[in-house]
Amino acid sequence: TPRLGGILSALVTPFRPDGAVNLDAIPALVELQLAQGVHGFYVGGSTGEAFLQTPQERIDVLREVARAARGRGRLIAHVGAIATQDSLRMGAAAAEAGYDAVSAIPPFYYDFSRDDLLAHYMRLVEEVSLPLIVYNFGGRVGRLTADDLLRLLDEPKVAGVKHTSQDLYLLERFKRHRPDAVIFNGYDEMCLAGLAMGADGAIGTTYNVMGDLFVALEAAFRVGDLPRARALQVRANTLIDVLIEVGVFPGTKALLKALGVDCGECRAPFRPLSPDQSQRLQAAFAAIRMT
Ligand code: NAY
């Protein structure tokens, strides 16, 4: 496995009942997941509710996770923002906190041109000292074309792509174009397929609560035990079905609470689960637990 591959949890951000970021919950969250065997953390991504926080809150979380992890596991900081200056500021903080790489979703909402987006990434590459993992989030960032992404991969400081897309042909093309790039599969429910098409690892929301299952899945795949890898994927997907139905991020937080790490609720407009949703989710979780 290349240095940056493996199973990385797309870490949730804990909040207090009053809505403030709960930095105090981070050490227990990190320990829970390291105990499950995850190889590191992708901090402040979609799962981390990046766009429901201020850049300063995101920086505080980046620092606290690095402090809690104490060098155990790889750390990628998601520094995506609409404003280039915000991404640069978070990137500098990630470098200072000891992260291995930064990652960024392209600026969105405004009608930025493709050249605006490429220039944004080039500034991250030039002005942040860490390698960059481009965050390709298919549906949400339609403006960058496959060719743009391949072109970005020609930059030596672009270390790879986090590919949250069902287009696994494109994942394979990234890997073929730059065999030394680190490509992460982004949809947990297709982890095995992504690995089969050449992914070096996977980053996902559901690894917050079932990291052990996906670590075992990847290990089975690497030794060529496809029946076991597939059985694990099927098992995970019976829970992911319910998570998608009730809301992946609020659902993941509900499961973390049941595992003894209270990360609070997601920030509004996300809403907590209803009692019925909660009950169905816990039942699905109980049915697939590894231990
Ligand atoms: C992120 O930045 O946190 C991620 O993108 C992690 C990848 C997740 N994708 C999205 C869209 O959030 O783990 C997946 C996803 O939650 C899971 O596959 C369920 O669909």
Cβ–ligand 1 contact at 10 (below 6 Å): yes
* Distance between CA atoms of residues 84 and 279, nearest Å: 42
Q: Are 20 and 252 in contact (CB under 8 A)?
A: no
Residue that is written with structure tokens 């991404």 in the block = 87
pTM more than 0.90: yes
- Write out the H or E segment, with its range, that includes residue 149: helix 146-152
For the chain of 291 residues, list the mean pLDDT of each consecutive stretch of 10: 82 97 98 98 98 98 98 97 98 98 94 93 97 83 81 94 94 96 98 98 98 98 98 98 98 97 98 97 92 56
Which regions of the chain does DSSP assign to beta strands (E)?
6-11, 40-43, 74-78, 101-104, 132-137, 158-164, 182-185, 201-204
* Predicted local confidence at residue 224, as pLDDT: 98
Residue 137 Cα to ligand 1 middle (Å): 9
Cβ–ligand 1 contact at 5 (below 6 Å): no
* Distance between CA atoms of residues 264 and 250, nearest Å: 9
Q: What are phi and psi of 49, to 5 degrees?
A: 55, 40
Burial 128-147 (b: 16+ CB within 10 A, else e): bebbbbbbbbeeebeebeee
User: Nearest C-alpha to atom 16 of ligand 1 is from which residue?
Assistant: 205
SS3 21: strand
Q: Are 99 and 77 in contact (CB under 8 A)?
A: yes
- Residue 162 bears catalytic tag: yes
* Predicted local confidence at residue 140, as pLDDT: 52
